[in-house]
Amino acid sequence: ALARYLLPDDQKVFGIDLTPGAIGCALSHMQIWTQIIEQHGGHSVSDSPSPRFLVIEDDCRFLPDFGESALEQRLASVPNDWEICWLGGVDSLGQQAALNVAPGVRRVYSGFRTTTAYAITVAGAKSALEVCLPLYWQVDTHLTQHEVKPEDGMRGFPFTVKPIGYSLFPSLVEQAKERFDTDVQKDSTEHHALREALLPQGIDTREPLLLLGSCNGWSLEEAQRRFCFQPMEDSGHSSPSQVLSSLRVEVPSGGLSFQIISARHSWHWRLYTNGMPEDPGSRELRRGDDKKMMACLVSGKDTNIAHARDFLIREADEQVIELRVSLSASDGIRVWFV
């Protein structure tokens, strides 16, 4: 861990640092694992059935397919050696599809994140404590760091072996981010060096913007004709270093998915979310000026990183909203709606 702290600030990954909230979260999980071991650690492998425990955080939202019978059916497909099985999660590097082991079941790897909801065994609780102490990172990072690379199969992708972990896909749960503010993750605005490292280099704050998405059939011609953002010159917030633009748009039935592109550079200049394609909740915008989402910018010929990382608006079906974008040379790019 010491070597990481000696890295230049722009090479550190602050999202997994130990904030006070992250420490509290980790201690809560460790207390549960300790109780499992103390109360059930004498369980013999010959005993039947082997006890399993469901751990749920307070911001967990159960999806419509969740239920006791559904959970049992899904767990029945998980290999028998499992020690921990996540009911959902975030594939932060987009690699987990290569780790399928059964229908609806994937191995986890070091890029897998979450502790929203998981099933765990006594052996899993012991392994979890062993890999999380001493605590250097957020607890979900510790839980997936012990990897091996297979000699054959699964295209050579490494996967986590302590604790022996799997995840269910599609997920049975998601994190209800709109209902619970988090003090686990560190906001980039709290750390100047991190914020500077995240800012696009040489951003033109007066870049003309277009909305492409489900509202116009992802048609560039239609976007150029009817979906152009306009600078909010009278907003009191626009300046040469920060330009605020807006666009009124009707959210289609079923929600709005979209990206924002440059009117000058088309698809070669794109704004997209840092959420993952497999985790719609991580890409969803919520209503209000206080719900600004940090956006990512990719420009140039290779913009594949933005593929399927669309912004989502699902809470305003068939309503007219005002979509806003802030391009700032000092605070980066933010997207929200009112």
**What does the mean pLDDT of the chain come to?**
82
* Least confident piece of the model among 96-105, 183-192, 272-281: 183-192
pLDDT score, position 184: 52
**323 Cβ contact partners less than 8 Å away, ≥ 6 residues apart:** 211, 229, 246, 247, 248, 249, 335, 336, 337
pLDDT exceeds 80 at position 302: no
Query: What pLDDT does residue 283 have?
Result: 86
Q: Looking at the chain, list the stretches that DSSP marks H as alpha helix, in order from N- to C-terminal side.
A: 2-5, 20-40, 68-75, 122-132, 139-142, 192-198, 220-226
Could you tell me the pLDDT band of residue 335, with boundaries at 50, 70 and 90? very high
Q: Which residue from 201, 215, 193, 232 is spatially nearest to 333, judged by alpha carbons?
A: 201
Best CA proximity match to 93, nearest among 116, 114, 110, 117: 110
User: Is a pLDDT exceeding 70 seen at residue 236?
Assistant: no
Return the pLDDT at 239.
59
* CA 76 from centroid of its chain's CA atoms: 27
* Cα–Cα distance measured from residue 117 to residue 123, given in angstroms and rounded to the nearest whole number: 18
For the CA atoms of 76, 31, 59, 311, what is the dihedral angle to 10 degrees?
-80
pLDDT at residue number 62:
94
Residue 197 has pLDDT above 50, yes or no: no
Q: Is the pLDDT of residue 52 over 80?
A: yes
Which tokens is 254 given?
A: 């079923």
> How confident is residue 293, by pLDDT bands cut at 50, 70 and 90?
confident
Q: Please check the confidence at residue 74 and state whether its pLDDT lies above 80.
A: yes
Q: CA-CA distance, 204 to 8, in Å (whole number)? A: 26
pLDDT at residue 328, as a whole number: 83
Residue 315 scores a pLDDT above 90:
no
What is the average pLDDT across 290-318?
82
Q: In the chain, what percentage of residues exceed pLDDT 70? A: 78
Task: Quick: pLDDT tens for 169-194.
Answer: 999 999 886 665 555 555 444 444 44
Burial (0-12, 13-18, 19+ Cβ within 10 Å), 277: middle
264 and 228 Cβ atoms separated by less than 8 Å: no
Which residue in this structure is represented by tokens 């270093």? 241
Share of the chain above pLDDT 90, in %: 50
Structure tokens at 139: 């607890």
pTM of the shown model: 0.55
- Whole-number Å distance between alpha carbons of 106 and 151: 18
Q: Average pLDDT, stretch 83-102?
A: 88
**Looking at domain 199-337, which of 2.60.40.3620, 2.40.128.520, 3.40.50.510, 1.10.1660.10 is its CATH number?**
2.60.40.3620
Q: 41 pLDDT band (50/70/90 cuts)?
A: confident
Residue 255 DSSP code: -
Out of 141-150, 216-225, 243-252, least confident range: 141-150
Angle value at C-alpha 25, between 175 and 296, nearest 5 degrees:
50
State residue 206's pLDDT score. Answer: 87
Q: What single DSSP character describes residue 1?
A: -
Please, which residues have CB within 8 angstroms of residue 152's CB and are 6 or more apart in sequence? none
Q: Nearest to residue 187, comparing CAs of 70, 117, 290, 81? A: 290
Distance of CA 223 to the CA centre of its chain: 28
The single-letter code of the amino acid at 327 is L
C-alpha 336/C-alpha 60 separation (Å) is: 24
Domains of the chain by residue range: 2-175, 199-337
What b/e sequence results for 46-82 when a residue is b if at least 16 CB atoms lie within 10 Å of its CB, and e otherwise?
Answer: eeeeeeebebebebbbbeeebeeeebeebbeebeeeb
Examine the pLDDT at 128 and tell me if it is beyond 90. Answer: yes
Record the tokens describing residue 228, joined without a space: 């152009």
pLDDT of residue 196: 44
**What's the DSSP call for residue 164?**
B
User: Who contacts 290 (Cβ-Cβ below 8 Å, separation ≥6)?
Assistant: none
Q: Does the N-terminal peptide bond of residue 20 adopt cis geometry, omega within 30 degrees of 0? A: no
Among 73, 286, 96, 64, which Cα is nearest to 179's?
286
pLDDT > 50? residue 237: yes
